[in-house]
Chains A and B, each alone.
Chain A
Amino acid sequence: MRDIMSEKEEKKSVMRPAAQRRETQGQDAWKPAASRQHLFLAEQRKLRTRYVWLVPVGFLALLLLWTLASVRNFDDMDLATGYQYFLYSMSTMNSIFMPVMLSVVASHLCDMEIKGNTLKLLYTLERPGRFYDIKYLFELKYLIIFSAGETLGLILLGKAAGFTEPIRPDMFAEHFIAMTAVGAVILSIQHMLSLVSDNQILPLIVGIAGGFLGLFSMFFPAEVNRLILWGYFGIFSVAGVDWQRTTDETIYMSYQPLPAGSFIGFLIAGALIYLIGKWIFLRKEV
């Protein structure tokens, strides 16, 4: 019975126009053998004993230690605006350290494929585009761990230091979203560079240069600052300093909610950057 059915199907296929047959055959050839779940599992297994989590956790520990060191000299007035200071200074530090940290994470995950020359084998098992996406999601996981740990760490440090300022959950949530979003766009560039470059020196140069640009862009006029991707950690900071009123004795700070319009525009631009990166990667000859 099964043989008769398959014969019928074969005949049907022969009767279809050649172009359509070729298309169907082409699709079948591209259909991945492994399911999405298996691909996730495979990626997970590659990371066993790699201890990649040590990179974001190590950086997080250092940044929180740094923040803790700055709290020691706080007086009553500083304690009343402590969380605003934390959010402002952490945005600044993120602009310096996050580009390098992300370049290290992306390079660490992608270099295993470059060094092992595994892309040829992987393309026989999964679609290149899907491989690109899943790899990126795994890198994103470390970014989210870092951002969430940073947000929670700041709240806990403030509690431990005895801040008298009430916690604004909405501002901390916005800080988390903004830092993760900017980090995700930078990560998409690092991800593409790490997968495209046979030598990891280029993505690392971009990471170090990005840290430099992010830091210095804060001293630039707003119009110039907006042109520098790495400067968006500062632009989307949810706390700011009023430099007109700030004196040597007192820093005047205030919350500044995330500008919705600019943020949505940034996300759209980020999605475009990701798609362009993916397009460049798909054109790579393996």
Chain B
Amino acid sequence: MLIRCIKAENMKLKHSIIWSACIFIPIIPAVMGTFNYLNNLGLLTAEWYSLWTQFTLFYSWLFYAPLIALYCSYLWRLEHLNSNWNVLMTAPVPVRDVFLGKLMVIFRVTLFTQVWVFLLYVVCGKLCGLPGAVPLDTVLWMLRGTLAAAAIGTLQLLLSMVIRSFAVPIGIALAGSIVGFLFINKGWELYWPYSLMMAGMNSNKSEDILGGNPVPFLVSVVLFFAVFAGTAVLWLKKRDVKAQA
């Protein structure tokens, strides 16, 4: 059933403008981060690692979560319009699969975004004339950042499901990201979902913020995922839908 739900969600995204957001938005930090790196070569001396910080600092802090929120709002908007909630809830599939199907699609789009960001990082690095191959650390950090999307994606999917406005969940994501910086500065990054991306992508430090031990980070991601997904499924089971007339 879950596979069928994923297929149905994938069909909804065919020829969608969401792919333009995936492609277009990461180009901005890529171009500007590279430009900034080239303008400050005297200060930024750690080559690939310095370029990494320029690429990902603002992306992971302020724009990654709103971008995922944008994907989630888009996916739920289709159900909020017309009487689609009624159709969705009367489909012969468990509500758990309805939610998880949407979540899988969000992961796929997020994974695509992250791969695209990494590709831009490699291309820009080579265009800047950086020597050698991309450090393996950065591949790991990118992977961790993608895993952090499990927590954020689930939370945003829950918010977009409950809040019928398209824009408000995106505003919440940005606000959460601002607070996330305060948490990360205090060293509490594992206790706030919006800080996990910055911690996972190690975007403001050359040395690993997690100290080479990813277990607490993974536990935090899994816990947030379980809590938000559980709440969403419970909400779908217990609450009556509000469909547009």
- What band does the interface of chain B fall in when counting residues whose beta carbon is under 8 Å from A? 35 or more
Given known contacts A69-B182, A211-B63, is B29 in contact with A216 (CB within 8 Å)?
Answer: yes
> Which B residues lie within 8 Å of A201 (CB)?
17-18, 21, 70, 73-74, 166
Given known contacts A62-B178, A100-B174, is B168 in contact with A55 (CB within 8 Å)?
Answer: yes
Bound complex: CA A209 to CA B130 (Å): 27
- Establish whether residues A107 and B28, one from each chain, have CB atoms under 8 Å apart when the complex forms: no
B96 interface hit (Cβ, 8 Å): no
Which parts of A167-189 form the interface with B (CB within 8 Å)?
A: none
Bound complex: CA A31 to CA B70 (Å): 40
Given known contacts A97-B178, A100-B66, A209-B24, is B170 in contact with A204 (CB within 8 Å)?
Answer: yes
Q: C-beta contact mask, A81-109 vs B, less than 8 Å → 1, else 0?
A: 00000000000000011001101110110
Bound complex: CA A63 to CA B36 (Å): 25
> Which B residues lie within 8 Å of A208 (CB)?
25, 63, 66-67, 70, 170
A-B contact pairs, 29 of them (CB 8 A): A58-B175, A59-B171, A62-B178, A62-B179, A66-B182, A100-B66, A101-B171, A104-B167, A104-B170, A108-B167, A111-B166, A111-B167, A115-B80, A115-B81, A115-B244, A199-B17, A199-B74, A199-B77, A201-B21, A205-B20, A205-B21, A205-B70, A208-B66, A208-B70, A209-B25, A211-B63, A212-B25, A213-B32, A219-B36
B35 interface hit (Cβ, 8 Å): yes
Bound complex: CA A215 to CA B63 (Å): 12
Bound complex: CA A55 to CA B174 (Å): 11
> Which A residues lie within 8 Å of B36 (CB)?
216, 219
Which parts of B71-121 form the interface with A (CB within 8 Å)?
A: 73-74, 77, 80-81
Interface residues, chain A, with chain B CB atoms under 8 Å away: 55, 58-59, 62-63, 65-66, 69, 96-97, 100-101, 103-105, 107-108, 111, 115, 199-202, 204-205, 208-209, 211-213, 215-216, 219-220
Bound complex: CA A101 to CA B63 (Å): 13
Bound complex: CA A234 to CA B231 (Å): 42
**Minimum Cβ distance to chain A for residue B163 (Å):** 10
- Establish whether residues A204 and B28, one from each chain, have CB atoms under 8 Å apart when the complex forms: no
- Establish whether residues B58 and A212, one from each chain, have CB atoms under 8 Å apart when the complex forms: yes
Partner of A104, one of B67, B168, B182: B168
Bound complex: CA A103 to CA B69 (Å): 14
- Establish whether residues A100 and B171, one from each chain, have CB atoms under 8 Å apart when the complex forms: yes
Closest chain B residue, CB of each to CB of A109: B167
- Establish whether residues A205 and B63, one from each chain, have CB atoms under 8 Å apart when the complex forms: no
- Establish whether residues B32 and A200, one from each chain, have CB atoms under 8 Å apart when the complex forms: no
B165 interface hit (Cβ, 8 Å): yes
B62 interface hit (Cβ, 8 Å): yes
Nearest 3 Cβ contacts at the A-B interface: A216-B32, A107-B167, A104-B171
B39 interface hit (Cβ, 8 Å): yes
Bound complex: CA A198 to CA B174 (Å): 23
Closest chain B residue, CB of each to CB of A224: B35
**Minimum Cβ distance to chain A for residue B35 (Å):** 7
Q: C-beta contact mask, B133-171 vs A, less than 8 Å → 1, else 0?
A: 000000000000000000000000000000001111011
Given known contacts A55-B171, A216-B29, is B178 in contact with A204 (CB within 8 Å)?
Answer: no
Bound complex: CA A63 to CA B67 (Å): 21
> Which B residues lie within 8 Å of A59 (CB)?
171, 175
**Minimum Cβ distance to chain B for residue A260 (Å):** 30
> Which B residues lie within 8 Å of A100 (CB)?
66, 170-171, 174
- Which of A201, A209, A216 has the most chain B CB within a 10 Å cutoff? A201
Bound complex: CA A96 to CA B28 (Å): 14
Bound complex: CA A216 to CA B36 (Å): 8
> Which A residues lie within 8 Å of B25 (CB)?
205, 208-209, 212
Partner of A211, one of B24, B62, B175: B62
> Which B residues lie within 8 Å of A69 (CB)?
182
Bound complex: CA A264 to CA B225 (Å): 51
Bound complex: CA A63 to CA B73 (Å): 25
Partner of A215, one of B58, B80, B170: B58
Bound complex: CA A199 to CA B18 (Å): 11
Bound complex: CA A58 to CA B58 (Å): 21
Closest chain B residue, CB of each to CB of A103: B167
Bound complex: CA A219 to CA B58 (Å): 13
Beyond A115-B244, A216-B36, A219-B32, 14 additional contacts (C-beta under 8 Å) are A55-B171, A58-B175, A96-B62, A100-B171, A104-B170, A105-B167, A107-B166, A107-B167, A201-B74, A205-B24, A208-B70, A211-B62, A215-B62, A216-B58
Bound complex: CA A108 to CA B29 (Å): 27
Bound complex: CA A27 to CA B124 (Å): 59
Bound complex: CA A62 to CA B36 (Å): 28
